[in-house]
Every structure is written in structure tokens, then in C-alpha cells.
Amino acid sequence: MFIIIGIMLTGMLIGYLLRSKRLTWIHKIITFLIWLLLFLLGIDVGGNEAIMKGLHTLGLEALIITLAAVIGSTLLAWGLWYLLYIRNRDKEEKA
């Protein structure tokens, strides 16, 4: 855990020191590494027999969690928008 935090903090320090430089090429490297990590994760998951046998159950659970998160976020965002904008606008119109 400390190694991961140390690596992240080192990257932040180097990024801070190089903030005035143009590092346009870094985005291409990051994108490539993310694709590589996803590919390697797919290989690891595909080679794990327990995950492959339970994939239909994991997929259903993931779908339910995703739908609940999206619906909950949407409802709470709407509620916050209503509290901050609509209710205040109605108060201003009455005044």
C-alpha cells in the first residue's frame, strides 16, 4: 500500500515540477497503457474458471447495482437542482 501511495506521490511531484513543460505526448502513453491494462485484465479474467462459471450471476448483480446507482444519482441530482434553482426562483418571483 505504501509503495502505491509513494509512486502516486512521486508522479504528482514530477508533474508539479514539469507543469510548465508541454507534455502533449503523455496522453497517448496513458491511453495505450490503460488499453493494455484492460487487455491483460481480460486475459486474467478469461483464464479464471471460477469467474467464467459465475459470469452470468456477476453480470446480473453488476446490472442491478449500475441501474440503482444511475437512478439514485439522477433522483438526487434532480432533487438538488430543484432545491437550489426552482425553489429559489419561486421565492424571488413572489418577492
Q: What would the pLDDT profile of 18-77 be if each residue is shown by its tens digit?
A: 988 888 888 999 999 999 999 999 999 889 988 888 878 878 888 999 999 999 999 999
* Residue 23 pLDDT: 83
Q: Which three cell numbers stand for residue 31?
A: 491511453
What per-residue confidence (pLDDT) applies to 89? 75
Q: Tell me, what's the pLDDT at 39?
A: 97
Confidence at residue 21, expressed as pLDDT on a 0 to 100 scale: 87
DSSP state letters, the chain: -HHHHHHHHHHHHHHHHTTTS--TTHHHHHHHHHHHHHHHHHHHHHH-HHHHHTHHHHHHHHHHHHHHHHHHHHHHHHHHHIIIIIHHHHHHHH-
Q: Which pLDDT score, from 0 to 100, does residue 69 have?
A: 98
* Predicted local confidence at residue 41, as pLDDT: 95
Cβ neighbours of 58 (radius 10 Å) = 13
Round to whole Å and give the CA distance between 42 and 40.
5
> Pseudo-torsion of CA 35, 70, 67, 44, nearest 10°?
20
Say what the pLDDT of residue 75 is: 97
Q: Is the predicted pLDDT of residue 95 greater than 70, yes or no?
A: no
> So what's the pLDDT on residue 34?
97
